[in-house]
Amino acid sequence: MSSFIRIGQYVNLYHIVDNNRRSIYRYQNAFVGRVDDGYDYLGFIYQGAARNRTGDNLEASLILASNAISTSLSNNLLTTKHYANVITKQFNDDDTVMRELSEEYWTVASMSYDAENVELILSSSIDAVGAQAPNKTLTRERVGNLPVTANLFVR
């Protein structure tokens, strides 16, 4: 048994058209040069959720090598208001999935780049400063049983 813990991320980048989710890009960084479960390989680093500098929101980032393709892709995702679903998985030594560690949903918020990296900033959908939330209604079908006598906290 290996002393290393093998993890990888699977990123589904999508946008909403007529209230339907349209997956455009599906990438994984776990298996070099191969397609896994419909996710193409892309060499990226995922830095998970952290509070932003002002402390009013959560951010994550996808870091890609700086080239014309990654810069164009990042700019396209930003200007067309894409969303990201990131799943982190832990693997056994035989490349089978041991367990799913986390699943996170983000909006593509901004990007920055330099000579070496393109950083795609992902942000939480909830805006703590403007007290804005996505236009959705909490229903039993979406979130399960709802309390009727207590306060609700959106996480």
Taking only the tens of pLDDT, the chain with its 155 residues reads 557 889 999 999 998 888 788 888 999 999 999 999 999 999 999 997 776 666 667 889 999 999 998 999 899 898 888 999 999 999 998 989 999 999 999 999 899 989 999 999 998 876 555 545 555 666 666 677 766 665 656 66
Domain boundaries, the chain: 6-130
Element (H, E) at 105: strand 97-113
Residue 43: its pLDDT value, please? 92
DSSP label of 19: T
Q: Which helix (H) or strand (E) holds 140?
A: helix 140-143
Chain centroid, CA 55 distance in Å: 20
Nearest residue to 137 via CA among 149, 152, 116, 122? 152
pLDDT at position 131: 46
Architecture of domain 6-130: Beta Barrel (2.40)
Q: Which helix (H) or strand (E) holds 117?
A: strand 117-123
Q: What is the pLDDT of residue 3?
A: 74
Which pLDDT belongs to residue 13? 93
Q: Which residue has the tokens 């589904």?
A: 12
Instruction: State the pLDDT at residue 85.
Output: 93
